[in-house]
Structure formats: structure tokens, C-alpha cells
Structure 1
Amino acid sequence: MNRIWFRCLRLVGLAFLVALGAGAQTTAGPFRLGIAPHTSTRVILEMYQPLRAHLEKALGMPVEVQTAPDFTEFARRALHHEYDLVVTTGHQARLLQTDAHHIPLLTYKADFKAVAVVVAKSSYKTPKDLRGTTTIGLSTTSLVTLWGQHWLKSQGLSQVPVRYVSAADSVAQLLLAGEGSAGFVSLANFQKLPPDVQGALRLLAESPAMLGRVYLLDQGQAAKKDRILKELWAFAESEAGRQYLEKNKLEGYRPLKKRELESMDPYAAEVRQTLQQK
């Protein structure tokens, strides 16, 4: 009787292990490529399709491009480890490194700058002309918006409000519709606007070069670090990668410089503060 009972327990145990294994296979999802919402979701999905396809083939598993409604929500999701590989601007990259132990991999060669743009034919010729108006930026934790708010303050315009929207192309359209005086976007996104839209705007101010988009690996994927880094460099050398880098005026990948991420601490602190308030 004891032998029969022992055999039954073994069978139950084996069945449990098989079910557990099947459950693990069922819940294993795709490799998640998280892209900060620097433009519309449609553009992001299209822009990162070549990298997605390259990683999918190289890793031998599905790769899915994901983003978020705004920069604040993106930072929150990344801090909660909802992405495996993250591409976000330097201030959020620093936050993810310090607060969630993400592993920085590389950045782009091209300088990253924020710009204040106005309608070309408008009366806004100098910063002081913005007094009494409303400006437009991306979400409160976007690097270009944070820079814009610092710039307004430096011009004695800290009382000028910023209206927050979801994408750089929305900023341009709202300016052209007369719903704001100036908008804050990245120089790269300004240069990617359709020629007629770009031609209808002009630059009012430009930031110094800052740390732009950084690739980081979630700590849960640390074992894949060398492989992912190798494939990113391989992508940059591929025909699809060269076209991607040229089309988006990114010039190529480069390693991060010493203390480059640390330089973003003041902006990272502002993102942290915003997240703690919500």
C-alpha cells in the first residue's frame, strides 16, 4: 500500500512539474523594445521596425516595439521593468541606471539639442515677446520640455505656462493653428517635420548639446548584455541600419563618455520628483 501511495505522489509531482513548465512557456512573452514617446506611436513603430526585425532574427525570438502615452508614464513603466531594452533620452537613462539598475549600452554620435520654435511669420522675434502667452511642450518629464522651462526661467519668463502634448508633430500643428506662441521639441524631430511644416516655423532658441537617446538593458536581461551589444553594432553596419541612421540623421552609435550620464543628474532628479508626486 505504501509503495502504491508513493508512486501516486510521484505521478502527481511529475504532472505538477509538466504543468509548471507548460505555464512558463505560455507566459514567456516577446523581447520588449521600449522606446520613449519622442514622437507619435505610428512614427515610432515605423522608425524602429528595422531594428526590431534585426533583433528578432539575431535573437531567434519575437521582438515587440512598445512605448507609452507620455514620458512620465514611460519612465514609470521602465522603472517597473516592463521593457527589456530601453531607448530614452539621457536624463531618464540616468534615472533608470540609478533607481532600477538598468545597464547603459551606447548612444548616438549625433548631437542632441532642444529648440524653441515659433511660427515663421509670427511677431515672436525675441524671448521677451513670449510674455503673456502660452508655450507648448511634450510631457512634464520630457528632456526638451524640461530644458524649455529652464530656458524660460533664464529669460525672466518663469510665469509663462507650458501646455503639454503627446508628440513633436502635435507641437508644430498647434503652433500653426495659433494655439501657442512657442514650442519645445528636439532639433532632430524639428528637422524630420514635413518640409512645408518645417518651412512655416523658425528657431527662436537652441540648447547646448545634451546627452540624447541612450540604449539601456533591463537588469533582468543582464546575461544577454554582450549579445545585445554585439547585435546593436552589427545592426549599425547592416544596410538596413545604415539607412536608419542616415534617414534619422543619427550618424551612428558610439560608446558613452566617462561621467556623461552623471551630467544628467539634475534633470533626472526632476523626473524622480514628478514620479513621486503622482
Structure 2
Amino acid sequence: MKIRLLSLAILFTISCFGSQINPIIIGIAPHSSTRVILKLHQDLRVFLEKYFQRPVEILTAKNFSEFSMRCNEGSYYDLILTSPNLAVLAQKMASYTPLMTYKKGLSTIILSKDKDILKSTQLPLHVVGLDPVSFPTLDAQDWLDKQGFKEGEKVEYTYTSATDSSISILLNNHADMIIISLPNYIKLMTDKLKDKVTVIYQSEPKPSRIFLAKDKNGITLEQWKKALDAFSKSSEGENHLKITKLEGFKKMAPNDLDNLGEIVDKTIHRLYN
């Protein structure tokens, strides 16, 4: 009997310890290479490890479509950092709550080596985006469509997994234009590279990347609100802003994502059709 009780006590202790060290999983949309994503968000990981006294893992996916499917399934990530259209889907389909974003909105940029590319008679033009459901891709395609560049007629789209890859594709003359976000333009385009390209289009700032969470993995939504608020005021948060050049944090208002109906509808169609 004593041996049996001791065995049960050991199993109980192991079970409790296992739950205590169960890692927190942060899912970050694949807006850059995995290496760059990990580097940009180390301050967030370190802060949350200290705050919750638990290990924290940062995960991404091979592309935005795969990442969004995982978010919408609802069990992969405890905290999500993603683009506004995918944030709306995670909210609607997996009950995540948008909690925080950045003060600096994200602009979409279209680059070309030819400043007169839109006047070209060599059609269709080859345009490279990050993924069919990435926010900058959808935004840029909407703008090109309104300029009369219909897909399959005047433009053809292909997609790559990382912005640094698309820049290389453009510079090596394997695309007529590429689509990127302003933060990636700032981070990845040196002055030397900027001299080789022309900005064909830059949008007005759109909603920035969104932090979302829910009651999951032993952490309540209220605890996530407090943790992110603390991060936004911490030295780690300050360093994160310096690295990403996103200026500041702000809490999400209930209606911040209400004007994305058309782009969200297109995202759903591309993901599930």
C-alpha cells in the first residue's frame, strides 16, 4: 500500500510539474524569414518568459495561408501576432480577441526596377507577392485592379515565402514588380538597393499587425491583457519598437477592424475555395 501511495504521489508531482512548464506558444505571421521573425521578437519572448515564469516558444508557418488556417483552427497558438485581415478571421472563427496593435500603420509598397512599368506594352506583367492572403498582397492587387491591371489579362501573380526572396527576384529580373510592406522595405532595403528600384505605389497607412489571445493553456484573456500592457511599458517593449521601427503600442478599440469587410471576404474566398 505504501509503495502504491508513493507511486501515485510521484505521478501527481510529475503531472503538476509538467503543467507548470508547458510552454506558451506565440504564433507570428510569416511576414519575413523565420530567422528574421525570431530576431525581431526575442524581446517579446524574453519578457513573457519572465512575466509568466514559463518557457515561451515562437512559431510561424511556411506561408500566410497555412498560418491563417492554424489560427482559425484555434488550438495551435496561445498568442497571435498577425495582419488585420487574418486577425478578423481568427476572431470570428476561433474566438481570439484583438488586444493590442502598433501606433504606426502599415503601408503597402509596390516596387519595380522600371519607373514606367505601368506603361509597358510587354504584357502580362509578372508581379510577386508574399502570399495570396497576405494583407499587402491583397491591398496591392486591389490597387492594380483599379488601375485597369486585371489578373490574367495585364498581370500575372506568383508568390514567395519571404520578402527578402522577392527583393532578390526583382533585382535579378525575374519579376516586373514586387509587393512588400513598409516595415520590410525599411528593414531590408539598403540605400544601395533603393537606388536600383522605384516605388510604383505606396498606400496610406492601414491597420498594423494585431496581437490576439484567448483563454487558453492556463492563461486567461484578462491575464493576457495585463501582460501585453506590461510589455508595452517595459524595456523589452521599448527595444522591440526600436528594432521593428513601429513607434509605439496602442490598445485595440472595438471597431478598429470594422472597415475590412471586402478584404476579409476575399481572404476567406482564397483560403477555403
Task: Determine if the TM-score, normalized by the shorter chain, exceeds 0.5.
Answer: yes
RMSD: 2.4
Which has the greater radius of gyration?
1
Corresponding residue for residue 200 of structure 1: 196
Letter in structure 2 aligned against 1:54: F
Judge conservation of contact 2:106–2:182 (CA < 8 Å) in 1: yes
Deviation, structure 1 residue 172: 0.9
Q: Give the structure 2 partner of residue 245 of structure 1.
A: 241
What are the equivalent positions in structure 2 for 1:187-266 lying under 5 Å apart? 187-195=182-190, 196-220=192-216, 223-266=219-262
Aligned residue in 1 for 2:109 = 115
Q: Quick one: distance in 2 between partners of 1:63 and 1:247?
A: 20
Hey, what's the Cα distance between the residues in 2 that align with 1:133 and 1:273?
24
Residue 16 of structure 1 and its aligned partner are, at CA, apart by 7.5
Matches within 5 A, 1:157-176: 157-158=149-150, 159=153, 160-176=155-171
- Equivalent in 153, 156, 161 of residue 145 of structure 2: 153
Contact map agreement 2:103 2:208 (CA 8 A) in 1: no
Instruction: Quote the residue 2:41 is aligned against.
Output: 48
Which of 225-234 and 168-177 deviates more? Answer: 225-234
Amino acid at match of 1:90: P
Q: Flag the structure with higher helix content.
A: 1
Structure 2: which 5+ residue stretches go unaligned? none
Tell me, yes or no, if the aligned pair for 2:127 and 2:158 is still in contact at 8 Å. Answer: yes
Using a 3 Å threshold, how does the CA distance of structure 1 residues 26 and 227 change in structure 2: closer, same or farther? closer
Answering whether residue 265 of structure 2 is matched by residue 269 of structure 1, we say yes
Structure-2 separation of matches of 1:256 and 1:127 = 38
Return 61-70 or 131-140, whichever deviates more: 131-140
Contact 1:94–1:265 (CA<8 Å) still a contact in 2? Answer: no
Matches of 2:170 and 2:135, distance apart in 1: 20
Identity across aligned pairs (percent)?
A: 31
Residue 73 of structure 1: aligned partner: 66
Q: CA deviation at 1:166?
A: 0.6
- 265-274 or 205-214: bigger deviation: 265-274
Aligned length: 265
Does the 8 Å CA contact 1:116/1:204 hold for their aligned counterparts? Answer: yes
TM-score by length of 1: 0.86
The aligned amino acid for 2:134 is S
Q: Write out per-residue CA displacement over residues 148-188 of structure 1, whole angstroms, 9 at most, x where no aligned residue.
A: 22122111111311110011111111100000011111011
Paired amino acid for 1:66:
L
CA contact (8 A) 1:128 1:157 kept: no
Query: Any conservation in 2 of the 1:52–1:63 contact (CA below 8 Å)?
Result: yes
Q: Gaps (5+ residues) in structure 1?
A: 1-6
Residue of structure 2 in register with 1:4 after alignment: none
Letter in 2 for 1:132: P
Say whether residues 1:179 and 2:170 are aligned partners. no
Question: Quick one: distance in 2 between partners of 1:94 and 1:58?
Answer: 27
